[in-house]
Amino acid sequence: MAAIQDIKDIEWALQVMKSGAHNLHSISFFLSQQSSNCFQETENSININITTQTLPHFSQLLKFLATPENDTSLSSLDFHLVEWEPHLVNDLRALLDNNRSIRQVTFKRNKFNAECLSELSDSLRRNTCIKDLVFSESKIGSEGAAFVASSLRDNCTLEELQIWEDSIGSKGAEELSRMIETNSTLKLLTIFDSKSFTATPLISSVLARNRSMEVHIWSGAHNGKISKVVEFAPENGTLRVYNLDPLGACRVICSLGRNTTVRSLDMTGLRLKTRWAKELRSVLEQNRTLKEVNLSNTCLKDKGIVYIAAGLFKNRSLEKLYLDGNSFSAIGIEHLLCPLSKFSPFQNQANTSLKSITLGGGRTKFGKDGISAFLKMLISNETITHIGIHEDESLKPDDIVGIFKTLERNTTLRRFSLRGCKGVRGESVFQTIIETLNVNPWIEDIDIARTPLHISGKSEAIYQRLGQNEKTEPEIDLLKDMAMAMPKSCRVFLCGQEYSGKSTLCNSISQNISPSKMPYLDEIRILVNPVEQAVRTPGMKIKPFKDEDTNISIWNLAGQHEEYSLHDLMFPGHGSASFFLIVSSLFRKPSNREPKTPTEIEEDLHYWLRFIVSNSKRAVNQCMLPTVAMVLTHYDKVNHHQSDNSLRATITLVQGLRDKFQDFVEFYPTVFTVDARSSASVSKLSHHIRKTSRTILQRVPRVYQLCNDLVEILSDWRQQNQNKPLMKWKEFGELCQIKIPFLRIRSRNDNREKVETRRRAVATSLHHIGEVVYFDELGFLILDCGWFFGEVLSQLIRLDVRKQSSTANNGFVCRQDFEKILVPGLGSNVTDNMEANDVIKMMLKLELCCEQDPSNPDSLLLIPSVLEEGRWKPQRWPILLSPDNNYNYVGRHLRCDDSSHVFLTPGFFPRLQVHLHNKIMGLRNQQHGASYSLEKYLISININGVHIRVELGGQFGHSVDVLACSTKSPTEMLRLFQNLVIPAIHSLCQGFTLVECVLRSECVKNLTPHRYRRKSQFVPLQQLKRALLSVPADSIYDYQHTWDSVTESGSTIIGPGFDFARELLSDDDFREVLHCRYHVLYNLAVELQLPQENNPGGGEMAAAAAASIEPTFAGIAKGVEEVLQRLKIIEQEIRDVKQEIRGLRYYENALLIELHRKVNHLVNHNTQIEERKVPNMFYFVRTENYSRRLITTVISGMAAMRMHMLCEFRGEMHVVEDQIGCELMQVDNVTVKFLAPYMKKFMKLLTFALKIGAHLAVGMGELIPDLGREVAHLVDSPVLYGAAGAAAVGAAGAGVAANRSRNTRDIQQDLVPAQQWVVDFLKDQRCSTGKDIAEKFGLWRVRYRDNGRIAWICRRHVCTRPHDIIEVPI
């Protein structure tokens, strides 16, 4: 109460308002007071008291405040105890209309009649300044609420509306709710009503219209107790309902169907009916923003819980659900946990958004079925992180033990609350919790407050163990100190053609080694020995058995040709304990007695030997040669009197194969001849298998003992899980976590990825040793290899997609159609364990198929196995090719370097079709307009106008042809080969070499059949390059490669012809030859110490050679101007190439002059040795396989060599044709001592000449062609084209570079012993006279007229150069 001295009269208040000195913000009017006065309550506020008799003062003040010149700082007006009349309302209306600064108006304990409320409503409708409107104890009723609602429908500035201690009734509430539907600016609604039902329409409208409006609704009971009905806080999206009748609760929950503002709904303690739960189901199915629902103690029963569970099936947003304190039983629990569980490996969890669920309460009864449902949820759920069971009395200690045992495999649960549960008691429960925490480090908190276990004081140990799980374990390599052990499992691969008796042989071996394990029907089949049926065993079969502590499994590879493409997938990896039995029948078919010829048997065995060698070379880090034994079956049908010769011939051929492959496989010397149906007949073979298995297990690399243990653990797991053939990666992780401490995650802060890597490494090791089939990207392990290879893959290649799918086109099949075909096609045994999508993912991993567009989930699938043979069709280039255009044709032939031992296996080309497609699709952004089509043995590609054909050379061939046709230059096409096609082929041929050959262009143009192409219609690329290197520089550009003709049955298929080498090679290859030629010459100049003045331009040429010259043929474009420009570029590049060739020619002449000078010095360095009575220039050759090879070095023990002499005419030295020579029977240490220095010097110069090339100049031109055959092995060596110092080849030239300084020394000391040795050797051979030397070597002794030096020259030079020489006979 203001002090007496502060009380002023009304006039003072008016003066204050007029002066504006006090900057008033708030004015409060109190009417019906005892006296009229005023006082200043604060610095910016004033209270004015007015009696009933001085009511005109109130009107006067309102009018004054309404004048435009009044203070604009006023923002708040409070009216207390005002009985409004129409003229006062008009004054207030004028005030609110004229004063734009007022933001808040409060009416407390005012009285309004209908007319006043209507006027006030009109004023509020037009007002754009007021933000806050408060009615407190003003008894506006439903009529006043309707007027306020009517004004706020049009008002877009009011933000807060408060109605305190009034009863607006249901009608007023409905009017306000309709206002809320149209008004989007109201931010706060506070209602204090005597009835709680007024909250229903208000909050329903707010929620239905997604208004961001804070709502507080209160009600007062008759006893004076005030309670909150509902509140909504939009800033955190929380809706809390405290007290509503069932109908109101239903209306509120229905408004949440499309709501996006509520994230948390709390209806704790509200009595809810089944009808409400039914409406909640619809809300859960529709709402996408509701995150939390709290329904604790809401009296829900089983039927209501069933409705909630039904809503969870489609809900994708709810994260927390509280249902504790309700009255439902096992039925409700089963339904509630159903959308949170998986009941099949192929079933997806229906609800994956819910993270937390709370159950329990004294009225909740789990029961047996409820416990089973709860355990199933714990096993299969992958999203729940928090589970609460509160105040439960139905769970027993055994149930708690079962729950924690199940939690050992759960990796997602973080918090588990058992607060107040009576069943958490006893030592077994305590020990189980500790054991679970030892295995499961992911549980962060276990709440056992108010449980008997907590009361007994044992909770501290649990919390301590939880703290240990939080600690980070030290980073150590758990596998580093693990024990190594010998593998216990060995695989035996039965390889053979169909009808060879492999299945029968497998049964007999199994019966012989492990008779107790023989199935009854198989035993009857063997013992009764019925007539053998000519029925093929479909698919690949695996028969495991045990021999003491060794596990042996026989892998019977399917002999049907359609399954050959799968054999590569079954081949053992590196370090795998395995060996091979190649089985061949002595008869063509078991149903008749027509014997195979020895050649047919040899072909069978040869195929499988090449298959084994080819795949073993592809294996990484091959630790030992494959072990092979040969078995001939149906020996019981052989007529021994008539077939002895045939058997002997067969054994001879087998022995020849053994000799041929002895460096590639390890053969067992004995060839087994057996009756596959007789257990006694295969006893020796069975003994061999047992013995060889033990031997191989001792030889292969050791494995971790853990791998052997895991084999047993996985076997036990299969028995416990209905013999499932495959295991999900999640299940494997759970098994490792529980059973294998070395692969266990010990702390939740451990590096989980590191442990996962360790587990993957172990799984990969099991894959390599053949115990499982593991695919990292697919997320499962196949435990039954026989099921996988024999039923899954074998069924896949037998699916006839063409008949069942109308979309199959060029190998592409619609994904949906293929999935429909897979389900019935694979059979129930496969589809019960693998989904169709898993099968497709596996095929993609194995490159059995690929996606046309990997970015499209509905992409077509490319399946090579559905392709048809197209070789019978006419082969031609695309019709789009116009005959008016000038097309270029290039081709490359890739063949196995060692085709007698390796070949491209049947699985190679289907994998290439998929691999090349994936590579092209990966370059789609760079290669616009790329198209791809397939036939059985053909890949057709069109990239940027280049038509490419990739063809397999026969079904079981050893070559691939890559052909191209385009208007683009050969260089551009060949670059596409080198950058795309050929690398893809090489990537699938790791372990053996493919030789790249150049195909004849005419064969490419006419698409000559492959059987004619391989007959002298290709030349190795490196051989063609060497040919260019061997010709004189002037001939390089115009060098022609000639082709032989191909005839068949007397008719000419392809006539003879030629191609320019520059057209067969790309510009890159041709310039590589030029640069290589220059570098060779440059290195020779260094070796010969050619003076710089004799090598003009050498520095410039070196710089030019060092630079990489890239030809820039961009293709012929449209338009005459562009064509002319292209021709100018071509002419300029030809001039550049010819300029380079002229430079090479000049360089070669300078080198020849220096080379002749060196040779003449070598010949004439010592004219005193017996007055040159014998020639000096000698060399040795050896005859091998009807050809002569030049000897570049001599070592002790060499034999059967023949010495020859060169014509020594200066500048024109050459080989003398038809020279007999002298034979050197044996090389001893003395001979080596005398000849080694000479061989170094002379062979170096000879090698130089070879590097320069044949037909270089007069003199050396005769030397090289004659010796070319003998030194072909030198030319093949890359050493020959190496850097300086690598000129000398073999052991004799190994030290030339290191001893280059010796070139300047006097060579007399080195060569005198060699020349003396020649003199002595010829004397021993009785060839010391001129006549003898002329007879054996065709050389005559002469003297040059100008310098008097002695030389030995041929008869041709004697006759043609009589003016230069004088004969000096001995």
pLDDT tens track for 96-118: 888 888 999 999 999 999 899 99
User: Which residues on adjacent β-strands are paired with residue 889?
Assistant: 965
Number of Cβ within a 10 Å radius of residue 228 = 16
**What dihedral angle (degrees, nearest 10) is formed by the CA atoms of 1332, 1333, 1337, 1342?**
-140
Q: Are 1162 and 1311 in contact (CB under 8 A)?
A: yes
CA gap 1164, 1211 in Å, rounded: 13
Residue 1063's pLDDT band (boundaries 50, 70, 90)? confident
Examine the pLDDT at 390 and tell me if it is beyond 50: yes
Between 867-876, 1173-1182, 1202-1211, the lowest mean confidence (pLDDT) is in 867-876
Q: Which residue has the tokens 């080379």?
A: 1155
CA gap 325, 148 in Å, rounded: 43
Cα angle at 1142 between 1140 and 1144, to 5 degrees? 70
Eight-state DSSP code of residue 93: H
User: Chain-wide mean pLDDT for the chain?
Assistant: 79
Edge-to-edge strands, sheet with 812-813 = 812-813, 861-862, 850-851
Report the Cα–Cα distance between both ends of the chain, in Å, rounded. Answer: 158
Residue 640's pLDDT band (boundaries 50, 70, 90)? low
Q: Are 345 and 728 in contact (CB under 8 A)?
A: yes
Between 590-599, 606-615, 1159-1168, the lowest mean confidence (pLDDT) is in 1159-1168
CA gap 197, 202 in Å, rounded: 10
What is the model's pLDDT at position 475?
47
What is the model's pLDDT at position 191?
92
What is the model's pLDDT at position 1286?
25
CA gap 1020, 996 in Å, rounded: 6
Q: Which residue has the tokens 């708690």?
A: 400
What is the model's pLDDT at position 1156?
58
Report which residue type is found at 1018: F
Report which residue type is found at 542: I
Q: List b or e across 1109-1127, with b for residues whose CB sees 16 or more CB atoms inside 10 angstroms.
A: bebeeeebeeeeeeeeebe
Q: Which residue has the tokens 């059995």?
A: 848
CA gap 133, 148 in Å, rounded: 10
Average pLDDT over residues 630-641: 80
What is the model's pLDDT at position 1118?
39
Beta pairing class for 1199-1207 and 1222-1226: antiparallel
Q: Are 1191 and 1201 in contact (CB under 8 A)?
A: yes
Residue 826's pLDDT band (boundaries 50, 70, 90)? low
Beta pairing class for 238-241 and 994-999: unpaired
Number of Cβ within a 10 Å radius of residue 1269 = 12
Q: Which of 471-485, 890-904, 1085-1099, 1213-1227 has the highest mean pLDDT?
A: 890-904
Residue 1091's pLDDT band (boundaries 50, 70, 90)? low
pLDDT tens track for 404-452: 999 988 889 999 999 999 999 999 999 999 999 888 888 889 999 999 9
CA gap 710, 741 in Å, rounded: 12
CA gap 932, 914 in Å, rounded: 11
Eight-state DSSP code of residue 198: G
pLDDT greater at residue 1265 or residue 622: 622
Burial of 368 (0-12, 13-18, 19+ CB in 10 A): exposed
Residue 1082, SS3? helix
What is the model's pLDDT at position 652?
85
Residue 1358 contacts by C-beta under 8 Å, 6 or more apart in sequence? 1340, 1342, 1365, 1367
Average pLDDT over residues 808-822: 69
| Helix orientation angle between 246-254 and 274-286, rounded to the nearest 10 degrees | 10
Residue 885, SS3? coil
Q: Which of 672-676, 700-704, 859-863 has the highest mean pLDDT?
A: 672-676
Reported as type and span, the H/E element at residue 402 is helix 397-406
C-alpha radius of gyration, the chain, whole number: 50
Examine the pLDDT at 1282 and tell me if it is beyond 80: no
* pTM of the model as a whole: 0.62
From 29, 30, 47, 51, select the one nearest 38 (Cα to Cα): 47
Q: Which two tokens stand for residue 402?
A: 């079962």
What is the model's pLDDT at position 537?
55
What is the model's pLDDT at position 588?
82
The percentage of residues in the chain with a pLDDT greater than 90, rounded to a whole number, is 23
Between 91-95, 786-790, 1173-1177, 1294-1298, the lowest mean confidence (pLDDT) is in 1294-1298
CA gap 272, 300 in Å, rounded: 6
pLDDT greater at residue 515 or residue 1177: 1177
CA gap 999, 984 in Å, rounded: 19
CA gap 678, 508 in Å, rounded: 6
Examine the pLDDT at 1278 and tell me if it is beyond 90: no
pLDDT greater at residue 1062 or residue 190: 190
CA gap 969, 981 in Å, rounded: 17
Strands (E), 234-286: 238-241, 264-266
Beta pairing class for 356-360 and 320-322: parallel
Q: Which residue has the tokens 């630790």?
A: 623
pLDDT tens track for 1113-1134: 333 333 334 444 544 555 555 5
CA gap 1121, 3 in Å, rounded: 108
Edge-to-edge strands, sheet with 773-775 = 726-728, 780-782, 773-775
CA gap 810, 913 in Å, rounded: 12
Examine the pLDDT at 532 and tell me if it is beyond 70: no
Beta pairing class for 861-862 and 812-813: antiparallel
Q: Which of 251-260, 1002-1011, 1359-1368 has the highest mean pLDDT?
A: 251-260
Examine the pLDDT at 955 and tell me if it is beyond 70: no
Q: Which residue has the tokens 């007015």?
A: 50
Examine the pLDDT at 928 and tell me if it is beyond 80: no
CA gap 830, 842 in Å, rounded: 13
pLDDT greater at residue 1162 or residue 210: 210
DSSP symbols for 206-229: HHHTT---EEEEEEE-TTS-EEEE
Examine the pLDDT at 568 and tell me if it is beyond 80: no
Examine the pLDDT at 253 and tell me if it is beyond 90: yes
Residue 548 contacts by C-beta under 8 Å, 6 or more apart in sequence? none
Report which residue type is found at 493: F
Average pLDDT over residues 808-827: 67
Residue 1227's pLDDT band (boundaries 50, 70, 90)? confident
Query: For the chain, how many residues are written?
Result: 1370
Q: CA separation (Å) from 1217 to 1206, 1263, 1326, 1328, 1337?
A: 10, 10, 22, 21, 9
pLDDT greater at residue 807 or residue 1198: 1198
What is the model's pLDDT at position 1074?
80
Q: Are 228 and 218 in contact (CB under 8 A)?
A: yes
Residue 943, SS3? strand
Report which residue type is found at 31: L
What is the model's pLDDT at position 803?
56
